[in-house]
Chain A
Amino acid sequence: MAEFILRRILQAMLVLFVMTVLVFFGIHVIGNPVDLFASSECTKACLDEIMVNLGLDRPVWQQYLIFLGNLAEGDLGRSFTHGVPAMSLIWERFPATLELAVAALVLALVIGLPLGFYAGLRPDSWISKAIMGLSMIGFSVPIFWIGLIMILTFSVKLGWLPAIGRGDLVTVFGVRVSFLTLDGLRHLAMPAFTLSLLMMSMVIRLTRAGLREVMTSDYIRFARANGVPEYRVLGWHAMKNLLIPIVTVLGMEFGGVIAFAVVTESIFSWPGVGKMLIDAISVLDRPLIVAYLIFVVTMFVLLNLVIDILYSLLDPRVRLGAGAA
């Protein structure tokens, strides 16, 4: 177990190293951030001064070494544009993104599992065909389009749901969340649904395919041959086998959902990290971009660990650390 975690951490560090090098030199090639965010009245002297302040006057490899030195002390640097530590900006906004992503995940499961079950049990009924057709749409139609259509329908036309922002917030354990107020829920509904569509389609397809396979297996026949009631056969004997691929795929997908919530957050002006990243990129706010990427990579690594642990709980044949991770 310890070796397994250690190997994961080493892998993550390698990824971080390669990534930061790319970002540093990439941004250096693209342009000078100061030109982008300094006010137009700023003279040459003033520009130079800002460059010196931010350390941008040094050769890029020196900048990188300084960055590494600070990183070793846990300092990810200050945002060029906001002037505050980059990490604090991320922490401020991350709860919004996390809430959105978790809500999307819950929706995907709560809606996707029953639909997938139905389609798997009655593959030939027209309802099942409709469900599968819809899941196809979830895969193929771009998210921003669905988001816009929903805004047009539910906000503009019908006026049922607000189109932007998080609504009323409540603080729970020091984190501000939307989902505990009615207004917050109304704000959360559309972005969460939009973000969940892809995951939901996956859950539907995985559940259906998995169920059809599992239902023909000898162990399901054996359970039935022993007279085990159908709700128990489906709800536990089959379910536990189904959850293995679902957890695996959703686990991998979930990191992506958080990292790329960008689109959804932009459409619904959801004040999460995704939107912050877009803003940071447009002004080449390097410390913020790098800090965000480091944050995302770390999150992926942690998420993978959680999935592996969940996986080993679901599937007794899997032992942590066995085989290459």
Chain B
Amino acid sequence: MAPVLSVRGLTTVFGSGTQELRALDGVDLTVHAGEIVALVGESGSGKSLTGFSINGLLPGVARVTGGSIRLGEVDLRTLSAREMRQVRGSRVGMIFQDPMMTLNPVLRVETQMRDALRAHSTLSRQEVRTRLIAALAEVGIAAPEQRLRAWPHELSGGMRQRVAIATALLHSPELIIADEPTTALDVTIQGQILALAQRLCRERGTALVWITHDLAVVAGIADRVSVMYAGRVVEEGPVDAVLDTPAHPYTRGLIDSVAASQPKGARLPMIPGRMPLLSDLPQGCAFAARCPRRSPLCETTRPEPHPTGAGQTVRCHHPLTEPAGAVA
């Protein structure tokens, strides 16, 4: 079956000329219907940027300069701004990290949801209400009629995230990009939202890209995972394979730092060192400065993606083979 989303060689830059910074460099991402793909990586690795590149909502200073973004049969890069607006909300939905910030504080829930609904359909007032009430009920909101009239600040964080999900799902988009939608919530609510998103995507066959810091979330929700580092996907594969036998030393570091009993949901890595600045990327492997397996080759030559035996794709000259539990 053809994938819902197929991103190939996505390159996104900030600025221009000599000031140009490559924030994304050759990102590949494939998501099939009903599949959940997690995007993990340290802060600044380019996860959100990947999401915004796909739905065309990059900040003004950034632009996509290379690659293709196929949604079904269309390459989104070839669409005009007008056509892109038609895609947003109807074919690609997005959910954000902080439900306190996602809903407009000065507009009622109803106004915001109605605008989203009317963006792609012409319905009478009564039809709109019926649809919105049904949408809220579907994400498990009790007394949806009242909630519709509420202001965002009258709702709890979890409730707001449910409203955001209901809004993003109004037109049953083929693809949803969820940018750390549970990070700001407390643990029990996190679990509920995860379960909800998982259920809705499975039921509707929605393709879901789930951006997160939290490997526990990855293990719990995703089918496949892409690990990002300094604007590149360094490892990709089925969740079980990647978590059990990580091939990239960076992935391995992430897993170990969680095993070293980080409180759940804590920002990733206690891998020694820091991600290089975009303005200061090394010629070879971007992870070299922090890598225990580094060789002279790593410092001169950029590793290209290649398949491991175990179903993953990895960007590394010296991939790991032993399982994560074993002490190196």
The interface-forming segment of B12-20, B98-106, B127-135, B209-217 is: B98-106
A218 in contact with B101 given A226-B167, A228-B89 (CB within 8 Å):
yes
What is the interface size of chain A, counting residues whose CB is below 8 A from a CB of the partner?
25
The interface-forming segment of A174-182, A237-245, A271-279 is: A237-245
Question: Chain B 146-173 against A: per-residue CB contact (8 Å), 1 yes, 0 no?
Answer: 0000010100000000001001101000
Q: Does B93 contact A (CB under 8 A)?
A: yes
CB pair A219–B167 under 8 Å, yes or no, is no
CB pair A225–B88 under 8 Å, yes or no, is yes
Partner of B88, one of A224, A236, A240, A316: A224
Question: Chain A 206-233 against B: per-residue CB contact (8 Å), 1 yes, 0 no?
Answer: 0000000000111111111111111010
What is the interface size of chain B, counting residues whose CB is below 8 A from a CB of the partner?
34
CB pair B151–A227 under 8 Å, yes or no, is no
Which residues in A have their C-beta under 8 angstroms from that of B93? 225-226
CB pair B119–A244 under 8 Å, yes or no, is no
A219, A225, A228, A237: most-surrounded residue (chain B CB, <10 A): A225
Q: Does B120 contact A (CB under 8 A)?
A: yes
Q: Does B272 contact A (CB under 8 A)?
A: no
CB pair B106–A226 under 8 Å, yes or no, is no
Task: Name the residue on B nearest A225 (C-beta).
Answer: B94
CB pair B85–A317 under 8 Å, yes or no, is no
CB pair B151–A223 under 8 Å, yes or no, is no
A226 in contact with B88 given A240-B106, A315-B106 (CB within 8 Å):
yes
Which residues in B have their C-beta under 8 angstroms from that of A219? 101-105
Q: Does A314 contact B (CB under 8 A)?
A: yes
Q: Does B115 contact A (CB under 8 A)?
A: yes
Partner of B55, one of A225, A228, A229, A316: A225
Give the complex CA separation of A299 and B105 in angstroms.
Answer: 31
CB pair A228–B119 under 8 Å, yes or no, is yes
CB pair A223–B96 under 8 Å, yes or no, is no
CB pair A217–B101 under 8 Å, yes or no, is yes
CB pair A218–B107 under 8 Å, yes or no, is no
9 closest A-B pairs by CB: A227-B89, A226-B116, A225-B94, A226-B89, A227-B119, A316-B151, A218-B101, A219-B104, A227-B88
Which A residues fall within an 8 A CB radius of B?
A: 216-230, 232, 236-237, 240-241, 244, 314-317
